Amino acid sequence: MAEKKLRGKSDEEEIWLTIRSVLTVTRVIVLFGTIIVSELFEEYYFLDLTIAIWSLIVGIPLFFVISLLILWGNKAFIPVSPQEKMTTILRPILERT
């Protein structure tokens, strides 16, 4: 059964799905790592800021960059089916009843 599902996908799409899963797991690790580091290292300082603040300074943008990479990859490597393209309303309301 799994072979039937994968037959319709191109090599690029299969590679992207693997990379996307790694990016998703990395994004979750970054989120939890940021929270854990910010809670545990409140009393340690580096360049006049606590390690907790540094974890937020690094973790939040890293989370957003990984999220943008996932969105970009989905748009670039996963093709849109013709049925999904046809659902867009070109002329929404021409006459009211």
pLDDT (tens digit per residue) in 21-31: 999 999 999 99
Q: Helix, strand or coil for residue 17? A: helix
Lowest-confidence region among 3-7, 15-19, 54-58, 69-73: 3-7
Q: Convert 32-69 to b/e letters by CB count within 10 Å (16 or more is b).
A: ebbeebbeebeeeeeeeeebbbbbbeebeebbeebeee
Q: Helix, strand or coil for residue 49? A: strand
In tens, the pLDDT along 28-80 reads: 999 999 999 999 888 888 888 888 999 999 999 999 999 999 999 888 877 77
Q: How far apart are CA 67 and CA 75, in angstroms?
A: 13
Domain with 32 in it:
10-77
- The answer to whether the beta carbons of residues 74 and 17 sit under 8 Å apart is no
Task: Please count the structural domains in the chain.
Answer: 1
Q: What is the model's pLDDT at position 96? A: 64
In a domain, 19, yes or no: yes
In a domain, 85, yes or no: no
pTM for the model stands at 0.69
In a domain, 83, yes or no: no
